[in-house]
Amino acid sequence: MANKRKYFPIESELQIIRDLYDGTTVKTNIIMMRLGRKYPRWHVKRLAQSMGLARLSKMPNWSEKEEQYLEDNYHHKGYVSIRNGLMRINGGVSRSLTAMKLKAKRLQINKGSEGYTLRGVEALLGIDHHKIERWIDARWLAGKRRGTLRKKSQGGDMWFFHPEDLRTFIINHPDEIDLRRVAKQEFIALLAGEKETLITCICPRCGEEHELYLNWKGPSIPRKLCAECRADNVDYIENSPRTSAEKTLIVLATS
């Protein structure tokens, strides 16, 4: 069966689109209000495209100053703040949320590259978000909202935790941390204030090469236990006649 037309805009409605459409969300919302919301958003955009108006929505290319600003601020500022900062640089051009995310992806910038999300802290300490939220409410752990524009139904705005704030919390409240559940290598790197990279290592037990995230600047190849030998080592430690505290310290030392 042939597709039948569902919408029949009149000339005055098409003129509203010609006068106002520029591809932005704000103007599209105004057009939909002027049209009494008779048509869905996708149809308004299709009409604009058929009238040759869609090309007007093309944004200017990113300048070097904008890219530098994004690199310097993407990991710790919210999207609204970044957008306002970019507008001050580029003369008022409003970059969309999608445009900022795509540019950050192309520049290989990560939102959590210099900090931790709520999920990241969960994985690091081996706990759930309810406990972290209690720490925040008690003012033990300092965190910031990212300004991600997420709705309440999506869990609300995302948390961002600076490594220094997380270290301060661990030092001031060590009894809250269960060392048996932490991600050992990442936990040690956090306390040491080290930034890790993926390094090729040699296992001193089996001699196999493997990769680990380490803060390594030496000229030689680091000798670290591989995952299999580390698991064997943990089994040996668990079965040996030591206290739980001694076992934890040995596991941390041999990770």
The last residue of one of the domains, among 148, 180, 212, is 180
C-alpha to C-alpha distance for 167 and 90, rounded to whole angstroms:
38
In order along its 255 residues, the chain shows pLDDT tens digits of 455 678 888 888 989 988 888 878 888 889 999 998 888 988 888 888 888 776 544 678 888 888 888 877 776 677 788 888 898 988 888 888 878 888 887 776 666 556 777 877 888 898 988 999 999 999 999 988 766 566 677 667 777 788 888 989 999 999 999 988 888 877 887 887 655 556 778 888 888 887 776 656 555 677 888 777 776 654 544 455 455 555 555 555 555
Q: Identify whether 188 is part of a domain.
A: no
Contacts of residue 137, defined as CB under 8 A and 6 or more positions apart, other chains included, come to none
Q: Identify whether 91 is part of a domain.
A: yes
Q: Identify whether 190 is part of a domain.
A: no
The last residue of one of the domains, among 19, 37, 56, is 56
Maximum separation of any 2 CA atoms in the chain, in Å: 87
Reference 191, options 217, 171, 220, 211; nearest CA is 171
Tokens 């661990």 found at: 170
Q: Identify whether 24 is part of a domain.
A: yes
Q: CA-based Rg of the chain, rounded to a whole angstrom? A: 27
Whether 204 and 235 map to the same domain: the answer is yes
C-alpha to C-alpha distance for 106 and 109, rounded to whole angstroms:
8
Domains in the chain: how many in total?
4
Whether 206 and 167 map to the same domain: the answer is no
Q: Identify whether 43 is part of a domain.
A: yes
Domain that holds residue 126: 118-180
Q: Identify whether 5 is part of a domain.
A: no
Q: Identify whether 4 is part of a domain.
A: no
User: Quick one: DSSP state of residue 111?
Assistant: T
Q: Give the predicted TM-score (pTM) of the model.
A: 0.39
Q: E strands along the chain, which residues?
A: 144-145, 159-160, 197-202, 209-214
Q: Identify whether 185 is part of a domain.
A: no
Whether 89 and 36 map to the same domain: the answer is no
